A and B are shown apart, each in its own frame.
Chain A
């Protein structure tokens, strides 16, 4: 036992092995430092020319390629046969590929998203039922913060597959307000009042001009659309102030906002629904509708 131990120690401490070990350590440390410096310098060089996401992608590509080269060099120094290793890596790669389909799909989707640039950090986007501000765009996913301060991670694959609305892409937007008014109202007067409300609102842009559209004659009233242009940051202020003013002005002017209702006629639209009092019991009036009268 002592002989074996002394033999192994001797083999390990032989000059050649020590030199190999030293070489491996030097290559690994120097290679890693060089790689970090190269990544940092590249990051600085591309910072002004590329978007933050593209710069990050370039830096990561350089880092992982460099790390692979260092690993291969170290393995060769240690005496591994790379052909066998690469063959094994190929088989392992296939197995890994099947296992990590989603991750690879996310990475490829991330590359498409970065090159296509449908949104950027700080944009407000809407994906399905989720709306929030983009915190970061990474290779696998994007991170957003919702308005009620929740952190949400959305895989890049989801973003490629579904419709994404970039709410803040353009500097101005139009707020569409659906308004319903009773049939008895004068449409010209209502239009005039709505346009005055738009003109007096400080958050509503004068140009492009507010849009007034009579959409349809609905079941309960006339359906109108008021479209107001605003600077994208003023959304809440405009919506709250203009809705308040519309309700207030309509109340002042006696303009009726109808709730959903149904009118029942007994044959002739111009005549009221016939009601006939048949008896008075316990001082309560009991009414019964008599058909045909």
Chain B
């Protein structure tokens, strides 16, 4: 059974899902549902799909009261609610008029929906704890999540993908000089999530770099990702976007912190 399909669960029983590092328990009751979760150190890539399991004492329930009894739950993967900053494995240099394709593993957030039509949103839980980061200068930057995965040139089959979606990022260097960067800021709140036969994917992001002084042009593809067959849309973007955005997407190598 697919992890992201609707599932029938019985009243007063505890069910467990394991998605990446996230352990999630749901207990439906007559007029309320209980949801509890914790993060584990177990990074095995095997997902547990709503099996009956007793919740450990250490995990606290959150209570959701809603009218309309239901026994159906659906988990959906969505992108984080703000941009993520990703580091390249090594500082990257892209020569003028050249392009580079990167693949970034982005931790998904798990949206818990209930109801016969799956239209009652109970909560959203990150599949792993993300740390905060600041992208840009200390006066005009923006708050992002920092993720410890790297932008890679290929989809590495040896890596774990449970709890992650793969985001293809294509960078064009349209400037006269080479791009010299070590971080990329991806506005994932504008991305959709697709389920492939093995992995989750997002639509492709294209970043066009003009110069250090100008913001980059960021475009979000409308098409399904083509790197895996049978991709099906399972979650829309959080924030709809116009065809392209102008965002400062690169962190040029520089020393930000200084001792007064």
Contact = CB atoms under 8 A, between A and B. Distances in A.
Interface SS of chain B = strand
A225 B257 CA distance: 14
A171 B132 contact: no
B141 A231 contact: no
Interface string A134-172: 000000000000000000000000000000000000111
Nearest to A201: B131
Interface in A167-217: 170-172, 174, 199, 202-209, 211, 213
A203 B132 contact: yes
Interface residues of A, number: 19
Contacts of A209: 256-257
A202 B132 contact: yes
Given A170-B138, A170-B139, A231-B143, A207 B133 contact: yes
B146 interface: yes
Contacts of B257: 174, 208-209, 211, 227, 229
A202 B146 CA distance: 11
Interface string B130-161: 01111100110101001000000000000000
A213 B146 contact: no
Contacts of A172: 134, 138, 141, 143
Given A170-B139, A206-B146, A213 B259 contact: yes
B20 to A, nearest CB: 18
Nearest to B148: A206
Given A208-B134, A229-B134, A171 B129 contact: no
B93 to A, nearest CB: 20
A206 to B, nearest CB: 4
Contacts, number: 54
A172 B257 CA distance: 12
Choose among B129, B138, B143, B251 the residue with the greatest number of A CB atoms under 10 Å from its CB: B138
B85 interface: yes
Contacts of B138: 170-172, 208, 229
Contacts of B139: 170-171
Contacts of A203: 132
A211 B133 CA distance: 15
Nearest to B85: A207
Choose among B133, B139, B251, B256 the residue with the greatest number of A CB atoms under 10 Å from its CB: B133
Contacts of A174: 257
B190 to A, nearest CB: 22
Interface string B218-260: 0000000000000000000000000000000001000011010
Nearest to A215: B259
Contacts of B85: 206-207
Interface string A19-40: 0000000000000000000000
Contacts of B256: 207-209
A31 B110 CA distance: 64
Contacts of B141: 171-172
Nearest to A231: B143
Interface in B66-87: 85
Given A171-B138, A171-B143, A205-B132, 19 more contacts: A171-B134, A171-B141, A172-B141, A174-B257, A205-B131, A205-B133, A205-B134, A205-B146, A206-B131, A206-B132, A206-B146, A207-B134, A207-B146, A208-B138, A209-B257, A227-B257, A229-B134, A229-B138, A231-B132
27 contacts: A170-B138, A171-B139, A171-B143, A172-B134, A172-B141, A174-B257, A199-B131, A202-B131, A203-B132, A205-B146, A206-B131, A206-B132, A206-B133, A207-B133, A207-B134, A207-B135, A207-B146, A207-B256, A208-B138, A208-B256, A208-B257, A209-B256, A209-B257, A213-B259, A227-B257, A227-B259, A231-B132
**10 smallest beta-carbon distances between A and B, as pairs:** A206-B146, A206-B133, A208-B257, A208-B256, A207-B133, A205-B134, A205-B132, A206-B131, A211-B257, A172-B134
